[in-house]
Amino acid sequence: MKIGLLMLLVLFLVMSPDGIRRSLAARPSIVNIGAILRFNSTIGGVSMIAIQAALEDINSDSTILNGTTLKVDMRDTNCDDGFLGMVEALQFMETDVIAIIGPQCSTIAHIVSYVANELRVPLMSFASDATLSSIQFPFFVRTAPSDLYQMDAVAAIVDYYRWKIVTAIYIDDDYGRNGIATLDDALTQRRCKISYKIAFPANARKSDLINLLVSVSYMESRVIILHTGAGPGLKIFSLANQLSMMGNGYVWIATDWLSAYLDANSSVPAETMYGMQGVLTLRPHIPESKMKSNLISKWSRLSKKYSYSYLRTSSYAFYVYDSVWAVARALDAFFDDGGKISFSNDSRLRDETGGTLHLEAMSIFDMGNNLLEKIRKANFTGVSGQVQFDATGDLIHPAYDVINIIGNGMRTVGYWSNYSSLLSTVLPEVLYSEPPNNSLANQHLYDVIWPGQTAQTPRGWVFPSNAKELKIGVPNRFSFREFVTKDNVTGSMKGYCIDVFTQALALLPYPVTYKFIPFGSGNENPHYDKLVQMVEDNEFDAAIGDIAITMSRTVTTDFTQPFIESGLVILAPVKKHIVNSWAFLQPFTLQMWCVTGLFFLVVGAVVWVLEHRINDEFRGSPREQIITIFWFSFSTLFFAHRENTMSTLGRGVLIIWLFVVLIIQSSYTASLTSILTVQQLDTSIRGIDDLKNSDDPIGFQVGSFAEEYMVRELNISRSRLRALGSPEEYAEALKHGPKRGGVMAIVDERPYVELFLSTYCKIAVAGSDFTSRGWGFAFPRDSPLQIDLSTAILSLSENGELQRIHDKWLKTSECSADNTEFVDSDQLRLESFWGLFLICGIACVIALLIYFFTTVRKFLRHEPPEDPTPRPGGSTTLPDERTPPKNGREKCNCRNFISFLDHKEPPKKKRSLSLTPTTPLSNFTALEIEGPVRTVRNGSVVDI
């Protein structure tokens, strides 16, 4: 039976799948990886303990490596001496290792990365140098956050507190230089910058560091970024405290070297902590977890075991621990896929001289690419959080804690995460479960205690006491000298803008030394674009005066808060109304009044003629009829006429006339309202659109931006523009007008216009401002003085000082009547209404012609009136009855025709019937009976 079982076992091994056979055959009992550390450093000591902790957990876990023991060969390197460190690293590469943990120094990491690429050995480095990239070094795998993200977090802090310039102090090696270069890029993206960079060597003496700090104290910026190692960094803080550079007004931001030192060292001297009060630093964010707690709980035992009892855990301990685990998991997957550990000589490596480097001893890891692939595919939860690499070989979701040094410890005031690139008081792992929100309005940090034990955020910038004298350009104006000009007697600059500047400087908490340099000859106004350009070219440190803030100028320079509102307006000649007790007559010209009154009488007379013969309301004695004509005529002005019109012609004329009256009444009301409320301009220009559509010349002030604005923005031909240099030229050009060599209008800024109008009253503003700008002081880009002066100008505005300065220099008064030439306003003329009057006149004429034609026909057909003599049967002839004339001469008598016109026309007869005495009257109750009915008896007509 035993023989049978043996045969079955042999058969199983022969017939088993290739994968199982390879796995059993390829897994070695021991696998060696390497570690390049600096043993005498805090990070190096912490890394050694973390590696040992990882090895214990990995080798005791039966689910990993399937019995293969993982060992780490650790070597010490000298980071301070780059050459020796590189030699030590190269000597270590002579050993056959399949992966390397470290190195922690950027200088060594660069050299070893080249070797790792050649030997195909994955390099699990926690060096933060941003220039170490998997693009250049494919076998470089970064297992800690890159400085690319740390410097972005520092820049976010600077921008959050609205500091614009910083000073950078850094160690002069790859780690320091590359870190500050990355910081510079991050600040530039937020429109901030490093105003002063100063480096020091790793072996700098105390005197060198003191000189370094003294030079920093002379700089404008009080925001200092310290990017160095723990040793020199602590020296700098101690010396800065001695030089009173850790007091009010200063801001110190240390990169993660400080948090790594404070986290790892169990006992930090009290004087060291005292010299760092108020400092901000960053710490790579490690989320809380059970795995993290387990590692911390056994850390004390391990630190004592390996002679590092004074060291505690830090963020680097967690990253190194997970790095070892990442290699172990990758090896397990590597062996499962049939990977074998084998090396081959590199034919290109030869030590021809027989030196001690033994380059030929360096071997290529044959299946290094396979192991690298497994490492890059790592995806597990470690003590540092989620261990997973992105396409660039960096850990996903890098995040930092923002730490404030207070008392004997540290306080977390917020977090920064690359997930949103914002500062927040919410834990990064909470943000990962929500959609990214990149709104700056969501940024928030808890209150910080700054150097000097103050909670007030420092300004971040001061004007240094030993700074050079500022050269400030000031326009030397020829006209409107109230704003700024040079005193010909003393040679000093004075004016409204000068007073605003000096009063604002007086509010600054630090002294500013400056010198005014006049710009321009004083014989004409200078061109302000050239003045602003000189600020950009650093010929002037600033420019003050009546400088308009325009879009083109803000591209190259920064302006303070506007101290006066200024928009472009249009100047045109004005006519002033004579406001007196007879102002109600001004809307119409005399001709218009006369024609309107005449038409009232004419229309009244026409309606009287058309209604006289048939309408009792238009009849009566001559006196009554004249009164009726006048009453009816003028009552139509208010639509208050009470007389009814009965004729079709009269109603037609009245309808047309009432329409004319409506138009005249509305025009009169509008014109009178305009006269009593606004001035009328003696120009066709009412606004910017009329200015653009015209072809007449336009004036502008020499040196003003109005010229380029009209050409570029309004598309007005430059040939139409006329440069004017003084208020007198303004007045003359407008007085002459475009037909006599002047201009139709002038475009200028409102402060100049208001000052001009206080003297020249025959001119006024046409329309409203068509630009909205202001005047400000120009400074180079990102100048802190610009920010402080803006705050000072706002203070001047709030306390009323700005208005007082305005009243001192620019107090304007109303023009007196003696200096004003009153002229007629733009009254409504007959030309504007002649069409209405023509229509009404034609209607009256046509109505009269029709009326007289019909009346003549009636006159010729009717009998003349007879005397009321008795008729047979006792009847008499009625007064309005007519008898035909006896002959033609009598028939055409004008006297009879006039008498015919004066008499009332009898009512029209609807139908005539002949009745007999026996005809029942009831049969004709609905009919009109011709002739009077004299007697009705028993319901029948008896006498007719």
Whole-angstrom Cα distance, residue 750 to residue 772? Answer: 10
Given a contact cutoff of 8 angstroms between Cβ atoms, the answer to whether 127 and 62 are in contact is no
Contacts 24+ apart (CB under 8 A), 211-215: 212/169, 212/236, 213/239, 213/240, 213/243, 213/245, 214/243
- Evaluate whether 30-144+310-351+359-377 and 565-576+679-775 have a shared fold: no
Cα–Cα–Cα angle for 88, 89, 94, rounded to 5 degrees: 95
Q: What's the half-sphere exposure (Cβ side, CA atoms, 13 Å) at 585?
A: 10
What are the 10-residue block averages of pLDDT along the chain, 944 residues in total? Answer: 40 39 60 89 92 94 89 84 69 81 87 88 91 90 93 95 93 93 94 92 92 92 94 95 93 96 91 94 95 93 88 93 95 91 76 55 86 93 93 89 94 93 92 82 91 92 76 93 88 93 90 90 90 93 94 91 91 68 74 82 78 67 73 71 71 80 81 67 69 88 90 90 92 88 91 88 79 90 85 92 92 54 56 79 83 75 52 44 45 63 60 49 44 48 47
Whole-angstrom Cα distance, residue 127 to residue 111? Answer: 13
Domain at 565-576+679-775: CATH code: 3.40.190.10
Helix (H, G, I), strand (E, B) or coil at 45: helix
| Paired strand residues for 69 | 30
Whole-angstrom Cα distance, residue 44 to residue 277? Answer: 27
Residue 221's closest CA among 249, 248, 198?
249
Give the pLDDT score at 56.
Answer: 93
Give the pLDDT score at 466.
Answer: 65
55-to-59, 320, 559, 616, 928 alpha-carbon distances in Å: 6, 11, 62, 129, 136
Helix (H, G, I), strand (E, B) or coil at 856: helix
Instruction: Tell me the CATH architecture of domain 470-563.
Output: 3-Layer(aba) Sandwich (3.40)
Per-residue pLDDT tens over the stretch 659-704: 888 888 888 788 777 766 665 555 567 778 888 888 889 999 998 8
Whole-angstrom Cα distance, residue 493 to residue 516? Answer: 7
| Paired strand residues for 165 | 193
Whole-angstrom Cα distance, residue 544 to residue 499? Answer: 11
Q: Where are the alpha helices (DSSP H) in 558-698?
A: 590-611, 622-635, 648-677, 688-693
Report field, pTM of the whole predicted structure over 0.75: no
CATH class of 147-287+399-442: alpha beta
Q: What's the half-sphere exposure (Cβ side, CA atoms, 13 Å) at 860?
A: 7
Buried b (16+ CB within 10 A) or exposed e, 713-742: ebebeeebbbebebbebbbebbeebbeeeb
Give the pLDDT score at 618.
Answer: 67
Given a contact cutoff of 8 angstroms between Cβ atoms, the answer to whether 35 and 324 are in contact is no
Instruction: Tell me the CATH architecture of domain 30-144+310-351+359-377.
Output: 3-Layer(aba) Sandwich (3.40)
Helix (H, G, I), strand (E, B) or coil at 623: helix
Cα–Cα–Cα angle for 858, 863, 867, rounded to 5 degrees: 135
Give the pLDDT score at 662.
Answer: 83
- In Å, how far from its chain's centre is CA 384? 41
Q: Is 907 exposed, middle or buried (0-12, 13-18, 19+ CB in 10 A)?
A: exposed
Domain ranges across the chain: 30-144+310-351+359-377, 147-287+399-442, 470-563, 565-576+679-775, 583-677
Give the pLDDT score at 612.
Answer: 66
Cβ-based neighbours of 225, under 8 Å, separated by 6 or more: 154, 166, 167, 168, 169, 170, 180, 183, 194, 253, 255
Given a contact cutoff of 8 angstroms between Cβ atoms, the answer to whether 521 and 513 are in contact is no
Give the pLDDT score at 825.
Answer: 47
Whole-angstrom Cα distance, residue 363 to residue 360? Answer: 8
